[in-house]
Amino acid sequence: MGTVASRLFGALRFWFAAIRDVLLPRGCAGCDKPDEVLCPSCASLFGHVYRKALPGNAGCCYGCSWYRGAVRQAILNWKDHGDEECDCAFALLLADLALKVLRQEGPYSRTRSLALVPAPSSASSMHRRGRWQTLPLVRLMARRLDRQGFSAVAKPVLKLEGVQGKSVQASSAQSRSRRIAGHVRVTEDLKGDDSLFIVIDDIMTTGATMGQCISALRAAGASNVIGLALACTPNRDE
Ligand SMILES: [Zn+2]
C-alpha cells in the first residue's frame, strides 16, 4: 500500500512540476533570462580563480566569482528564496574551480583523494531554509570529481553548536565571524587521513569563517586543508 501511495505521490509531483513549468516558465537565477536555470552569460561570471589569504595564518582559499550583480542575485535566489534547481549548476562550477586549483597549485597537483567538507550552518539557519544548503553542493561535486578520476567523498564533519543564526544580509561579516568563533566542532577524528580536505562555502567575505573551519579540521588531524567558495566579496580596491 505504501508503495502505491508513494508512486501516486511521485506521479502527482511530476505532473504538478510539468504544469508549473508550462504556466510559470522559470528564468535565469542571475538575470531572469527565460527558460534557463543559470544562463551561459551568468555562468561565465563564475569561471575565475580568485585566491585569498586567510587571516591568522589559516592558509588560503579560492573563489570563482565576485559577490556582486548577477552572481549575488543568483546566490540569493538559491540560498534564501529556495531556488534548489541551482544546486547542480553551482556544484559543477565549484567542481571546475577545484580542478583548476588542483592543476595550478604545485602542492596539490598529484592529489587524488579528496574529502569535500560543507561549511556548517547554524541550526536556526537550517530550520529557516529547510536544509543545509552546502551539503547537496558537496554531494554533487563529489560525483563530478569522481568522474574526473579523483576519489572524492562528501565529508559533512563540521557542525556549528550554540550559535544563534542570522541571515548574511542581516549581519556584517565581522559580527558573523565573532558569533561563530569557538563554536565550530569536528564530529570525527581525522588523524591519519591524508586526503586533501576542501571546505566548501557559498560566500566568503573576510575569510574569518573559512579560517575557523580550516583551523578546526587541522586541530582534528587533517593535514592538508584548503577552502573553496562560490563567490568572494570584493575588497575595496578590487
Ligand atoms: Zn543569466
Residue boundaries of the structural domains of the chain = 43-232
Mean pLDDT, residues 102-128? 89
Q: Which residues pair with 159 in a beta bridge?
A: 185
pLDDT of residue 53: 85
Exposure string over 114-151, b if 16+ CB within 10 A, otherwise e: bbbbbbbbbbebbeebeebbbbbbbbbbbebbeeeebe
Cα of 193 to ligand 1 centre, how many Å? Answer: 40
Cα of 70 to ligand 1 centre, how many Å? Answer: 7
Q: What is the pTM of this model?
A: 0.84
Q: Give ion ligand 1 contacts, CB < 5 A.
A: 28, 30-31, 33, 39, 42
Angstrom distance (rounded) from CA 235 to CA 238: 5
Cα of 39 to ligand 1 centre, how many Å? Answer: 4
- CATH number among 1.10.1060, 3.30.70, 3.40.1350, 3.40.50, domain 43-232: 3.40.50
pLDDT of 180-222, one tens digit each?
677 899 999 999 999 999 999 999 988 888 999 999 999 999 9
Angstrom distance (rounded) from CA 195 to CA 225: 9
Cα of 38 to ligand 1 centre, how many Å? Answer: 5
Q: Is the pLDDT of residue 75 over 80?
A: yes
Cα of 37 to ligand 1 centre, how many Å? Answer: 8
The cell numbers describing 196, all together, are 586533501
Q: Is the pLDDT of residue 165 over 80?
A: no
Q: Which residues pair with 52 in a beta bridge?
A: 61
Mean pLDDT, residues 116-125? 93
Cα of 76 to ligand 1 centre, how many Å? Answer: 14
Mean pLDDT over the full length of the chain:
88
pLDDT of 14-68, one tens digit each?
787 777 767 777 899 999 999 899 999 999 999 999 998 887 777 889 999 999 9
- Is residue 161 within 8 Å of 183, Cβ to Cβ? yes
Cα of 69 to ligand 1 centre, how many Å? Answer: 11
Cα of 111 to ligand 1 centre, how many Å? Answer: 34
Give the up-direction half-sphere exposure of residue 205: CA atoms within 13 A in the CB hemisphere: 12
* Residue 2 pLDDT level (bands cut at 50, 70, 90): low
* Residue 111 pLDDT level (bands cut at 50, 70, 90): confident
* Residue 173 pLDDT level (bands cut at 50, 70, 90): low
pLDDT of residue 55: 78
pLDDT of residue 137: 97
Q: Which of 97, 68, 55 is nearest to 201 (CA)?
A: 97
